[in-house]
Structure formats: C-alpha cells, structure tokens
Chains A and B, each alone.
Chain A
Amino acid sequence: GQQLNQSPQSMFIQEGEDVSMNCTSSSIFNTWLWYKQDPGEGPVLLIALYKAGELTSNGRLTAQFGITRKDSFLNISASIPSDVGIYFCAGPPVETQGGSEKLVFGKGMKLTVNP
C-alpha cells in the first residue's frame, strides 16, 4: 500500500529554537496535509496545501508543497512548550482521488520542547 516517509522520527529542542520536518512519497499527491496530535486526542489540522510549489503559513508554522508533488515540509519557528506533540503528514494519493479521498498518513514526528 501507499506509504509516506516522514523524518525525523523525533526531535528534542530547546524552547525558542526552530524545527523542520519533511515527508516524502514514491507517488504523486495533489494535496498535502499537516496534523498535530496531542496525547489522548485526535489529530488537529494545522495546514492544508493544494498546489505544487505552494508555501503557506499559519502563525509560526510554515509548510510547502514540493514542486515534484512527492514531498512536503513543515517548519515551526520559535518553538514554545505547547508545540510538544506528534506531527503527521497526510494526503490522498492521486490514484484514489475522484472516488475515495482516503488519507495516507506518515508515522509521525514526536517533538519535545525543553523549556
């Protein structure tokens, strides 16, 4: 089945530092989504990207849709303790669109922020 390769798997940073994570796929995506999940909760949508090359910001978060349509990255600037959580990339593979828009998820990046 489809897989998204997300890296790194975990990061430990100091409060105030920036962090970057990325996601790659062997197949093309028309949409990239970035979610954050806190323990015991559901994923919360952070940013949605719909166009190759698109760069979108949401507060301290910036995400880009790779030009090849096979990758995306997420940056968090000036991290704060509440940024702690697991970040997932996700998207519907092109071949499933038009019928089912089921999402494929990466395995997640666990972020720890030391105050």
Chain B
Amino acid sequence: NAGVMQNPRHLVRRRGQEARLRCSPMKGHSHVYWYRQLPEEGLKFMVYLQKENIIDESGMPKERFSAEFPKEGPSILRIQQVVRGDSAAYFCASSTYRERETQYFGPGTRLLVL
C-alpha cells in the first residue's frame, strides 16, 4: 500500500522564482489537504481539495499561492514569485470521504528560498 507521495523532497529556489510542489494521495483517497510547517512549530492548514474542486482555502495566502487537484494526476501547490518567508516544510495529507478527519501525511517538501 503506497502512502501519500510528495515530490520533490527538497526544493531550492531564488527569490522571484516559482515553486511547484506535487502530492499524490494514498490509494482510495479522494481528499487532499496542504499544510505548512515552520521550524519548531506545529502544522498550519492551508487548503483542502477534492478532485477538481477547492473546498476550503481559508489558510492560504491570497496572493502568489494557488492549489489544484485535477481529475487526472497529482495535486499541485504552486507558489509564484517566492520570497524568503516562504521557506518552510510543506506537507500534503489525504483522506477518504467518510473519514475526512483522519488524515495521513506525506513526507513533505522542504522549500528553501535563497
């Protein structure tokens, strides 16, 4: 049973570049969540998606950040014109519809903005 997969595991970008983070949910899971973690902190919710739908993006900055979960393929978290403050670990989680509160996490993408 493959778990939640994320890639890349590490990503280095210069200020102003774009970062694309990918997440493939666990098999049988139709719901995807993105969280951000700063050092020494807990995870903070960003966005919740189903296939082709954004359900809740209340935790995502209004500018430069976007997320999608297309009918085919992984979910993508996109950060445009990255700034140093975007440096963090970004985690994706997935769940079934019936147990949406029970979320399983991927290994994360560590983004470093130089």
Q: How far is the CA of A107 from the CA of B44 in the complex (A)?
A: 10
Residues of A with C-beta under 8 A to B55:
99-100
B108 on interface, CB distance cutoff 8 Å: yes
Q: How far is the CA of A75 from the CA of B100 in the complex (A)?
A: 25
Chain A interface, DSSP helix/strand/loop, else mixed: loop
Query: When the two chains form their complex, are residues A102 and B102 in contact, meaning their CB atoms are under 8 A apart?
Result: no
Q: Which B residues from 23 to 37 make CB contacts under 8 A with A? A: 31, 33, 35
Among B4, B103, B108, residue most surrounded by chain A Cβ atoms (within 10 Å): B103
8 closest pairs, A vs B, by CB?
A105-B42, A100-B56, A101-B100, A42-B105, A102-B45, A31-B101, A105-B43, A101-B101
B70 on interface, CB distance cutoff 8 Å: no
Query: When the two chains form their complex, are residues B100 and A41 in contact, meaning their CB atoms are under 8 A apart?
Result: no
Q: Which B residues from 76 to 114 make CB contacts under 8 A with A? A: 91, 93, 95, 100-108, 110
Contact of A92 among B35, B58, B101, B104 (CB under 8 A): B101
Count of interface residues, chain B, beta-carbon cutoff 8 Å: 29
Q: How far is the CA of A77 from the CA of B4 in the complex (A)?
A: 29
B69 on interface, CB distance cutoff 8 Å: no
Q: How far is the CA of A91 from the CA of B35 in the complex (A)?
A: 14
Query: When the two chains form their complex, are residues A42 and B108 in contact, meaning their CB atoms are under 8 A apart?
Result: yes
Residues of B with C-beta under 8 A to A99:
55-56
Query: Across the two chains, which residue of chain A brings its CB closest to B6?
Result: A42
Chain B interface, DSSP helix/strand/loop, else mixed: strand
Binary A-proximity of B32-76 (CB < 8 A = 1, otherwise 0): 010100001111110010000001101100000000000000000
Say which one of A14-22, A43-51, A63-71 lies at the interface with B.
A43-51
Q: How far is the CA of A101 from the CA of B103 in the complex (A)?
A: 9
Q: If the complex has contacts A31-B101, A101-B100, A106-B42, are A42 and B107 also in contact, measured as CB distance less than 8 A?
A: yes
Query: Across the two chains, which residue of chain B brings its CB closest to A44?
Result: B105
Contact of A102 among B6, B48, B91 (CB under 8 A): B48
Q: How far is the CA of A20 from the CA of B45 in the complex (A)?
A: 26
